[in-house]
Amino acid sequence: MKTLYAVFGDPVEHSLSPVMHNAAFAALGMDCEYHKFRVTKDDLKDAILGAKAMGFGGLNLTIPLKEKALRLVEPDPLAEAVGAVNTIEFRGNGLVGHNTDGIGAVNALKSAGIVIPHSIVLILGAGGAARAVAYQLASNGARITIANRTPERAAKLAANVSSVGRAVGTGLENLHRLVEQSHIIINTTSVGMHPDTDQTLVTGDMLQTAQVIFDLVYSPLQTRLLKEANKAGAITVDGIKMLVLQGVESFRIWTGIDPPVDIMERAVRDVLGKQ
């Protein structure tokens, strides 16, 4: 019998998770399908329990459900620290919550040959994605600076991240100096996302050739930030890498199988290239 997997969110129409997971299932010859369902926060508990009752293999969660799910499942230590769940594993009679966003970001950097321990990382933004990325990078030995329009929010996140590594929080008023001092700059904000594709927090004149610019935005594929980084000769990593590699980790959690990363990535890039 076919095993079903799904992503829940509200909205969820934009999700590319079905594209990459179904490509992996097809390549591996697995009798599985992955779908997306619009689920509100009020209906999340019933939806999760319903999926388990119907024999689903596992779930992903996206905005705005990640935080609420924390109270509905048994989170692993990382998900609990991050305060958000994006992957649910049906383990026996239990519901185990994981967060693979940070792992996806770290693996995206590693796949580009970037050394993380002892690196100085500037994270732009202090939302959910920043939280997951900061925790994972700090626990991998990076020195984290979180810069946000609201300095108090950045400072609060940095204080939490300090439980696993070195982190400080600040505002954006000294952004030029912060960029200059950093080895890796990661944009976790929505700045530059479609339709405001001409926006960027960091411009080419602020960058150096040895720096790494990682933009979690993947619509468009080439954000203005990445274009500015390319002009400066910096190393670039786009948001597709994290999207795919967090999905790879979810796939492993559910199935115990290493999926074909290249096939998953190509499937996503093909879809985005047509948009």
Report the Cα–Cα distance between both ends of the chain, in Å, rounded.
Answer: 34
CATH label of the domain that carries residue 224 = 3.40.50.720
Q: How far apart are CA 212 and CA 122, in angstroms?
A: 10
pLDDT of residue 71: 95
Mean pLDDT of the chain: 96
Residue 228 and residue 107 share a domain? yes
pTM > 0.75: yes or no: yes
Residue 258 and residue 159 share a domain? no
Residue 156 and residue 42 share a domain? no
Distances 61 to 112, 128, 163, 174 between C-alpha atoms, Å: 27, 13, 26, 35
Residue 95 and residue 43 share a domain? yes
Q: How far apart are CA 138 and CA 117, in angstroms?
A: 9
Residue 32 and residue 81 share a domain? yes
Question: For 239-259, what is each residue's pLDDT tens digit?
Answer: 999 999 999 999 999 999 999
Distances 254 to 22, 54, 71, 250 between C-alpha atoms, Å: 14, 16, 21, 6
Q: Which amino acid is at 220?
A: P
Phi and psi torsions of 74, nearest 5°? -95, 100
Mean pLDDT over residues 63-83, rounded? 94
Number of domains comprising the chain: 2
CATH label of the domain that carries residue 267 = 3.40.50.10860
Q: Which amino acid is at 42?
A: D
Residue 28 and residue 121 share a domain? no
Residue 206 and residue 125 share a domain? yes
Residue 82 and residue 111 share a domain? no
Residue 61 and residue 188 share a domain? no
Residue 186 has pLDDT above 90, yes or no: yes
Structure tokens at 198: 């001409």
Given a contact cutoff of 8 angstroms between Cβ atoms, the answer to whether 81 and 136 are in contact is: no
Nearest-10 Cα torsion for 205, 209, 211, 214: 80
DSSP string, 3-59: EEEEEEESS-TT--HHHHHHHHHHHHT-SEEEEEEE--TTTHHHHHHHHHHTT--EE
Residue 203 and residue 123 share a domain? yes
Containing domain of residue 268, as a range? 3-99+242-273
Q: Residue 273 — very low, low, confident or very high, per pLDDT cuts 50/70/90? A: confident
Mean pLDDT over residues 155-184, rounded? 97
Residue 231 and residue 259 share a domain? no
Q: Which active-site residues does the annotation give?
A: 66
Residue 64 and residue 121 share a domain? no
Asked if the bond preceding 75 is cis, omega within 30° of 0, the reply is: no
